């Protein structure tokens, strides 16, 4: 269907685009105060609209950096605000927006794009793959006790919301512990966090842990009172085991709270191991946290580290055909090659392996990788392995 046009949003169209997006999520229009914080004149972001001639679809992105295995930070397009008006869905509007957005990323030299998907069935067809996993869990606070051997030192102090918001970026940047999948975080991502937290009516508290070298972790939470009083832990970052258990010691000590609830935490977060009764940590959901698109496969492949023996893979990418081809991957890096490939996979599957979240052998066992040489599969498992499970930890 071609009776619509896709083009960059003009400055005066961004707010209507934000409202259209909110409508697609069945949420009310953006408020003046929220818009003031997200306005592209304040935080750098770009957007595309589909017009027929009314605005019927939108996708936006802002710049950030993605930490890849080995510690390199790759320029990233953080994709957000994707929606098509309900009376114009399923006629190719999103497909046209995605195609134009990839072309825009290529022009701007952004090798990777990341998003959080509202539904897991939307983005695979565009070459995105599940790149990090997250776990939602609750804890019965009244019964939970820290084990006596939990690593504890340092102090926790509390900041009120207005005092804390301007300090979040510096607290995060000071941690210097980014694992694969984490973002550097720019003004746009902090503005989104601020807007999210301003929706709570109860006070939003930031607890900062201070270790021997200063602030080394922080937690953000709010308590919803009711028949069951729930402490919603909305952000938690830490650089040391002492900061992690120190912040949890604080969270478990907050009075008048029955349950603590948190979402999209890293799957290896050792909260269960900190408690005398690990069963008090109840996993409510463990699922995709973020989706990654390798827009420029050669650049993305060359950016990460690879522990292990060489392998040649063949990548297929019908959406961005320039990525298709064979790549030799080794401890020395990754580059195109004419050598025969031991494994064949599509770009979305490569994105699933890229941050180490999925072992190539797991992907192969699900039919996602064609194995031409079993030795190459074992070698790829080693090459794509990482020291810690990838985790994004930033919602946008
Ligand atoms: C990063 C974020 O912002 S995530 C938020 C995403 N937005 C939303 O969830 C808001 C509500 N949903 C929407 O606005 C729309 O349904 C969208 C944006 C998800 C899809 O827009 P559409 O214009 O309908 O997509 P389009 O017509 O290009 O569909 C392309 C293909 O994807 C399929 N598809 C699209 N959306 C979905 C979906 N939600 N579930 C399953 N399949 C889908 C279509 O069936 C079509 O398949 P086909 O090529 O085999 O025919």
Question: How far, in Å, CA of 233 to CA of 236, rounded?
Answer: 7
Tell how far the Cα of 94 is from the centroid of ligand 1, in angstroms. 6
The response to whether residue 79 sits with its C-beta less than 6 Å from ligand 1 reads yes
* Distance from the alpha carbon of residue 118 to the mean position of ligand 1, in angstroms: 10
Report CA(99)–ligand 1 centroid distance (Å).
Answer: 14
Q: What is the pLDDT of residue 390?
A: 98
Distance CA(294)–CA(4), nearest Å, equals 28
pLDDT of residue 184: 96
Q: Look at residue 39 and tell me whether its pLDDT is greater than 90.
A: no
395: Cβ below 6 Å to ligand 1? Answer: no
**Residue of 20, 21, 55, 90 to test ligand 1 pocket, by largest number of atoms within 8 Å of CB:** 90
pLDDT band at 2 (very low <50, low <70, confident <90, very high): low
Please write the tens of the pLDDT for every residue from 82-122. 999 999 999 999 999 999 999 999 999 999 999 999 999 99
Predicted confidence (pLDDT) at residue 123 exceeds the cutoff of 90: yes
- The whole-number pLDDT of residue 38 equals 85
Q: Ligand 1 centre and the CA of 29: distance in Å?
A: 21
List, by residue number, the catalytic residues: 123, 396
- Is 194 annotated to bind a ligand? Reply is no
pLDDT attached to residue 43: 75
Q: Is 81 in the pocket of ligand 1 (CB under 6 A)?
A: yes
**Distance of CA 219 from the midpoint of ligand 1 (Å):** 35
pLDDT per residue as tens digits for the range 347-395? 999 999 999 999 999 999 999 999 999 999 999 999 999 999 999 999 9
Look at residue 44 in the predicted model and tell me its pLDDT.
Answer: 77
Residue 90 CB–ligand 1 contact under 6 Å: yes
124 is in an annotated binding site: no
Could you tell me the pLDDT band of residue 45, with boundaries at 50, 70 and 90?
A: confident
Per-residue pLDDT at 177 exceeds 80: no
pLDDT of residue 327: 98
Average pLDDT score over the chain: 96
pLDDT at 176: 78
Is 372 annotated as a binding-site member?
A: no
* CB-ligand 1 contact for 56 (6 Å cutoff): no
**Ligand 1 close to Cβ of residue 211 (< 6 A):** no
Ligand 1 atom 15 nearest Cα: 84
Model's pTM, two decimal places?
Answer: 0.97
Name the closest-CA residue to atom 47, ligand 1. 90
| Atom of ligand 1 lying closest to residue 84 CA | 14
Cβ 24 under 6 angstroms from ligand 1: yes
For residue 1, pLDDT over 60 is answered with no
Q: What percent of the chain has pLDDT over 90?
A: 96
């Amino acid at each position: 269907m071609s009776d619509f046009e896709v083009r960059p949003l003009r400055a005066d169209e961004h707010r209507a685009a934000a409202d259209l997006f909110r409508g697609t999520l069945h949420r009310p229009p953006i408020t003046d105060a929220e818009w003031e914080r997200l306005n592209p004149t304040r935080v750098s972001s770009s957007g595309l609209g589909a017009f027929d001639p009314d605005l019927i679809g939108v996708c936006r992105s802002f710049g950030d950096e993605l930490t890849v295995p080995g510690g390199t930070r790759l320029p990233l397009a953080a994709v957000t605000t994707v929606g098509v008006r309900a009376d114009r869905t399923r006629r190719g509007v999103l497909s046209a927006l995605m195609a134009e957005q990839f072309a825009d990323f290529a022009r701007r030299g952004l090798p990777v794009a990341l998003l959080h998907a509202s539904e897991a069935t939307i983005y695979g067809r565009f070459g995105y793959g599940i790149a990090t996993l997250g776990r939602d869990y609750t804890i019965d606070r009244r019964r939970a006790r820290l084990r006596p051997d939990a690593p504890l030192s340092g102090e926790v102090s509390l900041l009120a919301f207005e005092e804390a918001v301007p300090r979040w970026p510096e607290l995060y940047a000071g941690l210097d512990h980014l694992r694969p999948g984490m973002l550097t975080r720019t003004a746009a991502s902090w503005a989104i966090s601020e807007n999210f937290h301003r929706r709570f009516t109860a006070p939003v508290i930031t607890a900062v842990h201070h270790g021997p070298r200063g602030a080394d972790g922080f937690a953000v939470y709010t308590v919803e009172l009711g028949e069951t009083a729930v402490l919603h832990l909305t952000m938690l970052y830490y650089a040391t085991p002492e900061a992690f258990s120190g912040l949890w010691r604080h969270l478990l000590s907050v009075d008048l709270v029955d349950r603590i609830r948190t979402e999209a935490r890293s799957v290896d977060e050792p909260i269960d191991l900190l408690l005398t009764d690990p069963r008090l940590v109840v996993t409510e959901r463990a699922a995709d946290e973020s989706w990654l698109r390798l827009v420029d496969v050669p650049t993305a492949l060359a950016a990460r580290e690879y522990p292990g023996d060489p392998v040649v893979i063949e990548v297929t990418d019908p959406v961005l055909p320039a990525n298709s081809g064979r790549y030799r991957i080794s401890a020395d890096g990754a580059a195109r090659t004419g050598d025969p490939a031991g494994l064949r996979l599509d770009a979305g599957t490569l994105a699933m392996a890229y941050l180490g979240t999925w072992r190539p052998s797991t992907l192969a066992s699900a039919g996602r990788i064609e194995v031409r040489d079993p030795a190459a599969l074992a070698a790829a498992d080693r090459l794509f392995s990482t020291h810690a499970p990838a985790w994004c930890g930033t919602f946008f």
